[in-house]
Amino acid sequence: MKVMLLVMLSAVMLLATLAAPAPLQQKAHGAGELKPFPQQVSYPGIIKPNHVSQSSMNSSVSSYYDYWKATYLKNNLSSLPGGYYVKGDITGEADGFDPLGTSEGQGYGMVITVLMAGYDTNSRTIYDGLFKTARAFKSSNNPNLMGWVIADSTGAQGHFGSATDGDLDIAYSLILADRQWGSTGTINYLAEAKKMIGAIKLSNVTTNNRLNLGDWDTKSALNTRPSDWMLSHLRAFNEVTGDSTWLNVINNLYNVYSQFTAAYSSSTGLISDFVVGNPPKPAPQNYLEEFPETNEYNYNASRVPLRIVMDYALYGDTRGKDIANKMVVWIKGKTGNNPNNVKDGYQLNGSNRGTYATAVFVAPFISAATTTNTHQAWVNAGWDWMKNKKESYFSDSFNMLNLLFISGNWWKPTYSAADTQAPSDPTNLTATAASSSQINLSWTASTDNVGVTGYRVFRGGVEVGAPTDTSFSDTGLTASTAYSYMVKAVDAAGNLSANSNTASATTSSTPAAGINLALGKTAVASSIEGVGFEASKATDGNSTTRWASIEGSNNEWIYVDLGATQSVNRVKLNWEDAYAKGYKVQVSNDATTWTDTYVTTTGNGSIDDITFTANSGRYVRVLCTARGTVYGYSIFDFEVYSS
């Protein structure tokens, strides 16, 4: 899957405090831009090139924008008239479609377009066209996110899963759009931003406060892409919603960076394209079949310095300043203070991997150097190098974002006082038993003066869920038991509605022996080989799809959540060629402490139909300990049966 790259951060004013601010509220604005280019902001504690005038920098930015727009911004989709997109190459499978661009590029384009409004008199039409495409090409997993591939086919719309970086940029651009044009026009930018922020939290914020790679990835994933760590974006999300989750994610990502660099790059401050594990470590080579150097500072991680320095520029977090400065001190020494000597790839110890100076590597190092005037000569030389560098979609788009930041033309969206009006109460709540352990709920949506961001589901007066849409599945219930529910709506300010009507349902009796308890249930794995090989493929009842772990690792696992405690005495495994010679079948009540029910060191693949003494548990795991091939592990079907 392509880098599906991230999209830049915000900038402008320094906030001295990290306390949670009041949520952002919609304003009614008049026609025209409220933040027309050039804004030429001076960020506190940040230097600019001082060998050219501000007017000259503005001219360089607008000239580069003209080139970028003419080269990459397109409006020729026969399958979506009026839909704009940013044309760019991808790395990864496009499932037979002819790819034209990615959600990464869409995010870049939407941020760039809204920041250049005023200079480009057609910017709002273009922006709305970019948003139209983003919405049409919705994710196959979460309709409030964007699928990562754009192709001129209606079949591609809703076909692909998401990429975290693209959605972060798109959501952030919607906040900028609200501050640029207001949200009283055809598109309610602020409401759409809140909708996406809620979807990103639902699908991409993991249980360990990292950001996963897309909505196809698991919520328990430890794998993360540092180029997705758009810290100032996350602070803007916090300002819009008042949700401290985003501050928790920021703090944890700083901790992950500190642990990683202390162990692997103490002298350079570099970080690998992908990070896995806890404690964090570089991903293996060729992770997710991206390219061989995924364990090094390469074409994904090259974007990290801009993300980091913008958190200092906008919010004054000195952790960002310290990280940026460490990288710059190293790269200046490495290159002899010559930006043209930067290479497109480094090992974590600073040894060269690449051979060429390209803007996606050079420009972020220039942005990172703006934290102190001791780097003034480097910033000046870097600006001169960047402003005329024209290469390809990826490098040029990221160069454009750095030019906007360094020149002070990436402004920070402001926010206003808190909303005090609660949403209307949800109506028409219904409850339907789906199994012996699950009840499904649905209701009619609430309305709000600013926008409903989600709902709170209560079972017997106790909150059991917080969905963002109008349905919820309550799992882990007891068979043959009656349950009662009610729902409340919540807006971005945290205002709760009155109660909905009450709805009740009774779970069915315990399933009979011979029924596959794992069918359609949630599955979690220690790793996946890539898109299309998720843990859920082993429990979907389709013997042509499969879970596959990363290659080259012996200790990998997959477990299924049965939804409720069951008495289990049989597991059936349909292995693909990549089988386990050694593995254990285990059960658990909490997915933390596991009990062995079956152990083998002589597995030979094919189909293993295993019976054992009955054990009770909600979770059943296959813990693979020894590979039968040089690859990883792969299972077509993971079936569990009760005694």
Going from N- to C-terminal start, the domains of the chain cover 54-259+266-406, 427-506, 523-642
Distances (CA, A) of 38 to 51, 62, 343: 19, 9, 32
Q: Is the dihedral of CA 194, 197, 203, 206 positive or negative?
A: negative
**Main-chain phi, psi angles of 168, to 5 degrees:** -60, -45
Output the pLDDT for position 415.
60
Mean pLDDT taken over the chain: 91
Residue 3 has pLDDT above 60, yes or no: no
pLDDT at 259 exceeding the cut of 80: yes
Out of 104, 273, 290, 637, the active site residue is 104
Element (H, E) at 214: none
**Which residue did the predictor score with more confidence, 566 or 493?**
566
Superfamily of structural domain 427-506:
Immunoglobulins (2.60.40.10)
Q: Confidence band (pLDDT; 50, 70, 90) for 264?
A: very high
Residue 419 has pLDDT above 80, yes or no: no
DSSP 29-75: --SS-SSPSP-----TT----SSS-HHHHHHHHHHHHHHHHHHHEE-
In the predicted structure, residue 514 carries a pLDDT above the cut 80? no
- From 17-26, 94-103, 270-279, 299-308, the region with the lowest mean pLDDT: 17-26
pLDDT score at 185: 87
Whose CA is closest to 177, among 34, 43, 362? Answer: 34
For 428-459, what is each residue's pLDDT tens digit? 999 998 777 889 999 999 987 767 778 999 99
Q: Which secondary-structure segment (H or E) carries 524?
A: strand 523-525
Note whether 290 and 301 are within 8 A (CB).
no
Q: What share of the chain is helix, strand, coil (3-state, %, to 5)?
A: 30, 20, 45
SS3 state of residue 633: coil
Round to whole Å and give the CA distance between 65 and 49. Answer: 19
* Mean pLDDT value of segment 552-575: 93
Percent of the chain with pLDDT over 90: 80
Q: Grade residue 362 by pLDDT with cuts at 50, 70 and 90.
A: very high
For residue 599, give every residue at least 6 positions away whose Cβ sits within 8 Å of its Cβ, in sequence order, or none.
583, 584, 585
Question: Catalytic residue at 165?
Answer: yes
- Average pLDDT value for residue range 226-235: 97
Q: Which two tokens stand for residue 479?
A: 């068979």
State yes or no: pLDDT of 43 exceeds 60.
Answer: yes
pLDDT attached to residue 450: 67
Residue 556 predicted with pLDDT over 90:
yes
Who wins on pLDDT, 551 or 112? 112
* Count of beta carbons in the 10 Å neighbourhood of residue 596: 13
pLDDT score, position 184: 84
pLDDT digits (tens, 9 = 90+) for 315-326: 889 999 999 999
Average pLDDT over residues 363-372: 98
Read off the tokens for 299.
């074409």
Structure confidence at residue 478 as a pLDDT band (50, 70, 90): confident
Average pLDDT over every residue of 409-413: 94
Percent of the chain with pLDDT over 70: 93
Q: Is 104 a catalytic residue?
A: yes
pLDDT of amino acid 20? 37
Which residues touch 360 (CB under 8 Å, ≥6 apart)? 299, 302, 303, 344, 394, 395, 398, 399
- Cis omega (within 30 of 0) for bond into 279: yes
- Taking 60 as the threshold, does the pLDDT of residue 19 lie above it? no
The CATH number of 523-642 is which of 3.40.50.620, 2.60.120.260, 3.30.930.10, 2.40.50.140?
Answer: 2.60.120.260
What the block records as the tokens of 418 is 């808190």
Q: Note if the pTM is more than 0.85.
A: no
> Which whole number is the average pLDDT over 232-255?
95
Task: Tell me the Cα Rg of the chain.
Answer: 25
Asked if residue 492 has pLDDT above 70, the reply is: no
Short-list 599, 598, 543, CA closest to 574: 543
- pLDDT tier at 9 (50, 70, 90 boundaries)? very low
**The pLDDT value given to residue 448:** 79
pLDDT at 21: 38
Overall CATH class of domain 54-259+266-406: mainly alpha
Q: Which of 120, 128, 165, 639 is catalytic?
A: 165
Find the angle CA(432)-CA(434)-CA(439) to the nearest 5 degrees.
Answer: 55
Average pLDDT over residues 518-522: 95
| Six token digits for residue 624 | 């693979």
What pLDDT score does 125 carry?
97
